Amino acid sequence: MDVVAVGVRSAVPVLSFTTGASQTSATVYVHGWYAQGTYYADDISLDGPGGGGSDSQAPTVPGNLRSTGKTSSSVSLAWNASTDNVGVTAYDIYRGSSQVLSVSGTSATVGGLSPSTGYTFTVKARDAAGNVSAASNAVTVTTDAGGGGGTGFKQAAPYLYLGWGDPPSATSVMNATGIKWYTMAFILSSGGCNPAWDGQRPLTGGNDQSVINSIRSAGGDIVPSIGGWSGNKLGPNCSSAEALAGAYQKVIDAYGLKAIDVDIENTDEFENATVQDRILNALKIVKANNPGLRTVLTFGTSTTGPTYWGNRLIEQAKALNAGIDVFTIMPFDFGGGADMYGTTVNATEGLKNKLKSTFGWDDATAYAHIGISGMNGLSDQQELTSPAIWTQIRDWANSRHIARLAFWSVNRDRPCPGGGVTSNCSGISQSNWQFTSITAGFTG
Residues 159 and 284 in one domain: yes
The helix (H) or strand (E) run that includes residue 367 is helix 363-367
Spatial distance between the Cα atoms of 441 and 434, rounded to a whole number of angstroms = 11
Is 383 an annotated catalytic residue? Answer: no
Residues 198 and 344 in one domain: yes
Contact 188, 250 (CB under 8 A): no
Residues 185 and 89 in one domain: no
Residues 101 and 209 in one domain: no
Residues 187 and 254 in one domain: yes
| Domain boundary, last residue among 105, 120, 142 | 142
- Whether residue 29 is contained in a domain is answered as yes
| Helix spans in 157-206 (H) | 170-177
- Whether residue 147 is contained in a domain is answered as no
Pick the catalytic residue from 242, 265, 271, 315.
Answer: 265
What local confidence, expressed as pLDDT, does residue 74 receive? 77
Phi-psi region of 404 (alpha: psi -120 to 50; beta: other; left: phi over 0): beta
Phi-psi region of 178 (alpha: psi -120 to 50; beta: other; left: phi over 0): left
CA 444 to chain centroid, in Å, comes to: 15
- Exposed / middle / buried, residue 149 (Cβ in 10 Å: 0-12, 13-18, 19+): middle
- Whether residue 36 is contained in a domain is answered as yes
pLDDT tens per residue, the chain (444 residues)? 444 444 444 444 556 666 665 566 666 656 554 445 555 555 555 565 554 457 899 999 999 999 987 776 778 898 999 999 999 999 999 998 888 888 889 988 887 777 778 889 999 999 999 899 999 999 998 887 643 334 568 999 999 999 888 999 999 999 999 999 999 999 999 999 999 999 999 999 999 999 999 999 999 999 999 999 999 999 999 999 999 999 999 999 999 999 999 999 999 999 999 999 999 999 999 999 999 999 999 999 999 999 999 999 999 999 999 999 999 999 999 987 789 999 999 999 999 999 999 999 999 999 999 999 999 999 999 999 999 999 999 999 999 999 999 999 999 999 999 988 899 999 999 999 999 999 999 998
Residues 205 and 130 in one domain: no
Residues 276 and 194 in one domain: yes
Return the amino acid letter for 342: G
- Whether residue 234 is contained in a domain is answered as yes
The helix (H) or strand (E) run that includes residue 378 is strand 377-378
Listed residue (217, 191, 404) closest to 296, CA to CA: 404
- Whether residue 149 is contained in a domain is answered as no
What local confidence, expressed as pLDDT, does residue 31 receive? 57
- Dihedral angle, C-alpha 246, 247, 253, 256, nearest 10 °: -120
Specify the CATH number for the domain of residue 434. 3.20.20.80
CB atoms within 10 A of CB 401: 17
- Whether residue 84 is contained in a domain is answered as yes
CB atoms within 10 A of CB 304: 13
Residues 96 and 181 in one domain: no
Specify the CATH number for the domain of residue 113. 2.60.40.10
Residues 427 and 371 in one domain: yes
- Whether residue 150 is contained in a domain is answered as no
Residues 138 and 85 in one domain: yes
What local confidence, expressed as pLDDT, does residue 196 receive? 98
Residues 6+ apart with CB under 8 A from 11: none
- Rounded to two decimals, what is the model's pTM? 0.69
Domain count, the chain: 3
- Whether residue 204 is contained in a domain is answered as yes
Listed residue (239, 231, 225) closest to 193, CA to CA: 239
Please give the sequence-ordered ranges of beta strands (E in DSSP) within 9-54, or none if there are none: 15-18, 44-47
The span from the first CA to the last CA of the chain, in angstroms, equals 61
| Domain boundary, last residue among 107, 142, 177 | 142
For 267-288, the DSSP string reads IIIIT-HHHHHHHHHHHHHHHH
Residues 233 and 323 in one domain: yes
| Domain boundary, last residue among 54, 76, 94 | 54
What local confidence, expressed as pLDDT, does residue 111 receive? 76
CA 142 to chain centroid, in Å, comes to: 8
Listed residue (368, 311, 307, 369) closest to 333, CA to CA: 307
Residues 130 and 162 in one domain: no
User: Which domain range does residue 430 map to?
Assistant: 155-440
Percent helix, strand and coil across the chain, each to the nearest 5: 25, 25, 45
Spatial distance between the Cα atoms of 208 and 223, rounded to a whole number of angstroms = 13
